Amino acid sequence: MSTNNDNENALAPDDVGDNAIEAKETEGLSQGKIVFRKFLRHKGAMISIGVFAFVALFAFSSVGFGPIPGWWIYNHTSSGQILNSGGAPTWSFSNFFTLGQHPFGQDDIGRDNFARVMKGTQISIIVMVIIGLVCLVIGTIVGALAGYYRGWIDSVLMRITDGFIILPVIVIGSILGKLVGGANGPLLGLALGAILWTGLARLVRGDFMSLREREFVDSARVAGASDFRIMFKHMLPNAMGVIIVNTTLVMSQAIVLEAALSYLGFGISPPGISLGQLISEYQTSFATRPWLFWWPGLFIIVIALCVNFIGDGLRDAFDPRMKTIPSWRKMKKAERMTQKKVANTTQKEEAK
């Protein structure tokens, strides 16, 4: 009788599934190593990191960055003779596969579209990263001060945050973009980052209000640690999961916002160049020369999806409540372990 019960309990998914195997594998590891292992197992995040790294490396190495020259023969400003009719792409499958001189085509004055798309990708990535860093700094500081001190400091900071939240982002972004945008991508990133930090600030505030009541904070306070040291030495590392995940999600929204503002004419404008600005410039060519329109849009989608998947992977890694579905191989391994356990239990019962 007891054997059947043991068999049923042993076969319970919660006991022999992926959680039991994962607990065994992570035994004795630090929290940081456990998070890193869980992140490495997120296939979507790993593929996205590879794709994003390839796109970024390709964009910065092909046309160069600053004083560093690139390996591509054309730059984003030079014009030349239009090779194909209408500036069509020069790649061909006639003799295996050849890229030709202008694989992304040419515009109406003979500029190489590949060089322009790569340069636009550079600027869009730079703006996205700057927005993420500005949101990280402002949101973390505001949330940490509000959550730790509470009282009137919390009230003042949260009312300021509420004031930013109720403002329509696209309208304020358009005004700031018109004032500081133009050809200056980094300055546009600073301006947009100054209005997108509100969500992170609220999340950090909630985490700090919870951490404030923990024993290690009381111990640090009794030991004579200053408020600054308690907040940024003891409490901040425990809130890094929320901060990192939210920052990546803000960055994925940032590149779409920059593209939207540039498309509307309120972001990067000529002689500056970005992916959104290219779509705006070539919007009339959608029907006649679609290659000028498709490539910038494709790179915006790829970058936004990659950053989103990386954020999902970080969220799953940092959140201990997230449970992954075990693979077929792990389920078979768990089943063999269960059968072995049941067999040993049966032998012990028969021996008694």
Report DSSP letters for 89-106, one per residue.
---BSTTS-B--S-TT-B
Task: For residue 320, say if its preceding peptide bond is cis, omega within 30 degrees of 0.
Answer: no
Q: What is the pLDDT of residue 56?
A: 94
pLDDT of residue 307: 92
| DSSP assignment string, 269-303 | -TTS--HHHHHHHTGGGTTT-THHHHHHHHHHHHH
Residue in 347, 318, 341, 225 with CA at minimum distance from that of residue 35: 318
Determine whether domain 132-281 maps to CATH 1.10.580.10. Answer: no
CA distance 41 to 71: 35
Segments of 72-185 assigned E as strands? none
Burial of 101 (0-12, 13-18, 19+ CB in 10 A): middle
pLDDT given at position 201: 94
**pLDDT per residue as tens, the chain (352 positions):** 444 444 444 444 444 445 555 555 566 667 778 788 888 888 889 999 999 999 999 999 988 888 888 888 888 887 778 887 777 787 776 667 677 788 888 888 888 889 999 999 999 999 999 999 999 999 999 999 999 998 899 999 999 999 999 888 888 888 888 887 676 788 889 989 999 999 999 999 999 999 988 888 889 889 888 889 999 888 888 888 889 889 998 998 898 998 888 888 888 888 888 888 888 888 877 778 888 888 999 999 999 999 999 988 888 888 765 555 555 666 677 777 777 777 777 777 777 6
Residue-level pLDDT at 280: 87
What is the reported pLDDT for 23? 56
pTM for the structure as a whole: 0.80
Asked whether the beta carbons of 209 and 150 are under 8 A apart, the reply is yes
Contacts with 286 (C-beta within 8 Å, 6 or more apart), sequence order: 293
Domain ranges of the chain: 31-64+293-324, 132-281
